[in-house]
Structure 1
């Protein structure tokens, strides 16, 4: 996924500023909540053990999540470049970020003040990893495969003290507990970088960073995708994980000492404490091992399965039940909080879970959210429609559609409410295992019953949606020209027709004051279809006056007029009974 689609794969909820603010305020709205995550690996997930905050990127925004209270704070990158990596300082006061794009910056943020305090621009292209040294003196940043630079930044002096180049793509970095060296990993790459000569140097210019390759032995052809330096009694060891599913330990002499098979088809991330190593693997699997001898400890519960009906998961037993031939999203990032003993996991369907692992025999879910897995194409607020409409939809609800082949129903509330067990627990937080639902995500409609809609790379994709004025029907159009209508009461599909030969770009229901119930569809094939919603969406008229793609359609006026803007001309058609 490119940086542009990452930015678009979430939803930002904004709220007007209080009227007590002066009218001359430059920013009329404030960011209240972000529904999305763009972390692609462990470099995009971090936890502050002092405050319990979990940080992750959502496009050009860093979300600071309090899992227990389900409250968000935000750091907004004014350069609008996508955040690709982040890391907390040891005291939790600062957060460092790396970004994508040309001439990216390493930015240092004050977490409490939510503002940038320092900036370093020494990379030419994207940044893949950043890390704070445990002593808080240094920040290391590693460029992506197009940049290949490793910089060590003495941020208090605002100076780069050492730099060098790497020969392969780097996917992970970790500092030793004593801050004397750090380790980078990548494709056939495990390298130890030493800082002793940097401290002794008095030169004003950066000195060459001294690196020594790890001795990989028979595992030299593996892709090492993440790394964590040992702590406590294992402070001289370095632990790595390979994409093929091996957990490896390097000793103080950089030699591969031992490894264990994770019994998985793929692994991507790990997080380490004094008494536990957590490994994120394929198919929703997270395994725990002892760092002392790599002895297996447990396997954590899996998250929701792909294409699950979130509205039907109303009890914890529904979440933890297993079915034959069920697929789960891969765990792509994990970070452990040793104080609360909570493990945060990001899965490749863009969902986030926080697990309570104080008792590995009784793992509980603290928090979970499900976001769109691809770019969001359209969003519609639910109308204030009188009548027999679900109360959960009638107040503050909205609907979004995405290239991930799903339509999602959301509702954002200021305060949490205790709901009956008829409410879903997937998008909720739990306090002492009693679920207090915030009901961000109400339901998911999977188009064509797609059972792997969140993970496949190529999707039909829902391009546009429109809700009928009475709130009963939801019309959607996809990239192949297929028109669908769902009944919002039952969430069932009541119409599916191949309306156009190309992508449907806009849908519009006629307004109630017109006295008619029509649906207009506009497409890239330069055609407009007008359908009668009261007559099973039968075709009323087809308009072919445009010579280019039609990007918008509106009903207005008496007699009923339809306005169809296109790239080259504007045409008005009138309909009379």
Structure 2
């Protein structure tokens, strides 16, 4: 019956249902094969799934948890929940909130947010909507029967609900901002903590509640004494013999013990400038502090036990063969500890630091702790990415064929690879090959990097790799242009090119017969540099009257053209002429549209340009005549306008990133939407198809890098068009396994 109804639905409904199918790809939805083929003949659906995620968006211990039954670690990356084993295998779900049976992670934000409960397998089992603005923290009761959720400071509501029935059973208001919550071992009460706030909430007081009714939640404030003005950044109820005790940590660096009478019984100084998180087991208390410090204490008497090893130093060189146990250098700085979770069965302590790095320590032997796993991710908005090109002579390649580079507001350029390595490339990450720190004193950036990125000054804005694979051009948000050699990723040239941030860069392809680099900026100027003269300025074009959003070279020598578009709704086609002074570009076509032009890419023939427009369309223009050829759909919904557009290497498909945070893939010839992807929590700022036609890589303002595995049929179509051989049987088997 489901499929019979689908046949008579509209295309938009089909697209929405297809997105649901993608989220339940592991077998939650099954269709009759015959009717499914009928649908596929009319509407082409491709299943694109998330293959890898390089990033983490945890803000506190509420966004990090572990399951002692399976050994899984869970944390959010944008709107996607990551489930990770120590064997470095991951499972991804594009969800808002997700829980294990014993812990929870951050809830959603926005208008009337929901708290949802999902099985690890992928099926949603419950949801409730009791907060108006956002959910700051959630937690399962120890017995798994209830969930407590705390709203944002504008909501100021604490709710307890029976998640199996999806109903709130008790609720109340709080007068202070709450940042953390913890359930007691017997699930009879829970404790919330925040700004000048520690409060004990009792569920047993609601025993006489009526069926299907919400009663006031009974709470009693903790007796703080001299610490009544403290800001409590972490709370954890005791376990085992200390089950009647409650432990709190203050942002100023105090570890506090509350007795069974809610009285602050004793406290110790952590000897740190600040503390942010707390994790308690039967044997240990782990306190996350500033500068990478994690102190360990005994739960019974708060006696000091040890201090864990620090993570990497800020500004670490991945190719240097020192590790975290090397004595600290004078002036060395470390990232602050942000979140902790502990698996008592394995003794694994997972730590997240404020530079968005993740470490897992084996604490079974406190005298000989070992690092089990670590990963270093971007700590701020990721602006651009570049995939290393395929070269005619592979021996001239500076980087591995599966490499790609990203840049961020954290003032770093990072080199990644998609293939799983046979051995770790360095001591800190299995996926990250290099980190290039750009600018002065950027190796010591922590929160300052994010703050600077917010004001529009710090960070690398755009990247571009030269066609010969030897140079990397990087434009920053202050208007500086840097050229790096990809052999060693060393800076070769620095040019103060623009007065405002550089928005786009473009090397001339080899087919043009010239070696040029164009940079365009928010200052409305396009600079053309000559590579053969050490990137000397050749010409400046000032035709645009607003920010320039894209620039491309095309044509063959001697007819070289440059196409640009911008926020002034104009498209300019410049044609190169050889003069006595050298190559000079002059205007040949000027097209004015009625809508803002956000981005542009050339088709595989480089004779037509596809432009993402504010009115939700992608317009295709002829480079030779400047005339409009086609107008294609640029978004799968009416809510999102395409902000970025990118063609695959074969010209079969093009992808758009939309203002509703979605990614859409279309067939270029027909304009049909064949896949819609969700998972980022901010707008996608850049995307690239891999050279082997197997992946789509996306980066976003949420600081995460997503690697999507394309449907095997998409890969086959693109490879056939490029004249490549078919993928091997093993690759086909993997692809078919994910679309069963």
Deviations 1:263-298 (A, max 9, x none): 100000011100001000000001111101111111
Q: 1:425 aligns with which of 427, 430, 443?
A: 427
Provide the residue aligned with 1:562 in structure 2. 562
The one of 200, 205, 209 equivalent to 1:192 is: 200
The residue number in structure 1 matching 2:572 is 571
1:172–1:185 CA contact under 8 A, matched in 2: yes
Spell out the pairing of 1:301-320 with structure 2 (5 A cutoff). 301-312=309-320, 314=321, 317=323, 320=326
Corresponding position: 1:124 with 2:132: yes
Specify the alignment match of 1:291 in structure 2.
Answer: 299
Match of 2:224 among 210, 216, 220: 216
- In structure 1, which of residues 443, 447, 458 is the aligned counterpart of residue 452 of structure 2? 458
More RCO (CA 8 Å, sep 6+)? 2
Distance 2:195 2:337 in 1: 20
Q: Deviations over 1:405-447 (max 9, x none)?
A: 111110021x44026xxx31110xxxxxxxxxx3x11111111
Q: Corresponding residue for 2:89?
A: 71
2:265 aligned partner: 257
Q: Does 1:89 align with 2:101?
A: yes
Aligned equivalents of 2:92 and 2:410: distance in 1?
A: 26
In the TM superposition, what is the alpha-carbon distance from 1:75 to its structure 2 partner? 1.9
Partner residue in 2 for 1:538: 536
- Number of corresponding residues: 533
Distance, in Å, in 1 between the alignment partners of 2:340 and 2:145 is 25
SS at match of 1:270: strand
Instruction: Name 1:433's counterpart in structure 2.
Output: none
The aligned counterpart of 1:337 is 343
Superimposed CA distance per residue, residues 430-486 of structure 1 (whole angstroms, 9 cap, x where no aligned partner): xxxxxxxx3x11111111141223431214111111011111111011111111111
Change (3 A) 1:281 1:361: same
Give 2:586's aligned residue. none
Partner residue of 1:273? 281
Which runs of structure 2 are paired with 1:29-48 in the superposition (5 Å)?
Answer: 29-48=48-67
1:506 aligns with 2:529: no
Which has the larger displacement, 512-521 or 193-202? 193-202
In structure 2, runs of 5+ residues without a counterpart are: 1-21, 27-32, 579-740
Q: Contact (CA 8 Å) 1:302, 1:320: kept in 2 or not?
A: no
1:412 aligns with 2:422: no
Q: 1:425 to 1:390 in 2, by over 3 A?
A: farther
Partners of 2:444 and 2:249 lie apart in 1 by 26
Contact 1:184–1:191 (CA under 8 A) maintained in structure 2: yes
Q: Deviations over 1:113-157 (max 9, x none)?
A: 213221101110110010000111100000011111111001122
| Match for residue 446 of structure 1 among 431, 437, 449 | 437
How far apart, CA to CA, are the structure 1 residues paired with 2:192 and 2:80? 26
Give the one of 86, 100, 106 matched to 2:115: 106
1:145-194: CA deviation from partner (whole Å, max 9, x where unpaired): 11111110011222111000111110110000010000000011000000
Greater helix proportion: 2
Residue 476 of structure 1 is matched in structure 2 by: 474
8 Å CA contact 2:398–2:470 kept in 1: the answer is no
Cα pair 1:145 1:169 within 8 Å, conserved: yes
In structure 2, what is the Cα distance between the partners aligned to 1:220 and 1:249? Answer: 14
Measured on the aligned residues, the alpha-carbon RMSD in Å equals: 2.0
Q: Which runs of 5+ in 1 are unaligned?
A: 1-13, 428-437
* 1:6-45 correspondence runs (5 A): 26=45, 28-45=47-64
User: Cα deviation per residue 1:512-555 (whole Å; 9 max; x = unaligned)?
Assistant: 11111110001111100110112100111111111111000101
Q: TM-score, normalised by structure 1?
A: 0.89
Matches of 1:209 and 1:362, distance apart in 2: 46
Q: Secondary structure at the match of 2:364?
A: coil
Counterpart position of 1:435: none
